[in-house]
Amino acid sequence: MSSQKNYNHSTRSIAPHNVYNVHDINETKKVNVKDLVARLKQEQKKDKKNNILLSAAAVSAVAVFGIILSL
């Protein structure tokens, strides 16, 4: 006996809602660095946009609070 687990590779045992098939699980995939860099840049743009929106909301809140206090 080996320490490796034996898996049933019949397609009938895989649930229909499972997004992976047997071939995807067994194959090794290479990581595409260009895709990772593109995803990183996209996430950084999204974070920057969210930070700008949050900063604008904070400045607006302070401005409105200051206007209310001055009345």
Q: Determine the pLDDT at residue 31.
A: 81
Distance, CA of 50 to CA of 43 (rounded, Å): 10
For the chain of 71 residues, list the mean pLDDT of each consecutive stretch of 10: 56 57 63 92 97 98 96 87
Q: What per-residue confidence (pLDDT) applies to 23?
A: 57
Query: Model pTM?
Result: 0.51
14, 21 contact by CB (below 8 A): yes
- What does 13-41 look like in DSSP terms, one character per residue? GS-TT-S--HHHHHS-----HHHHHHHHH
pLDDT of 41: 97
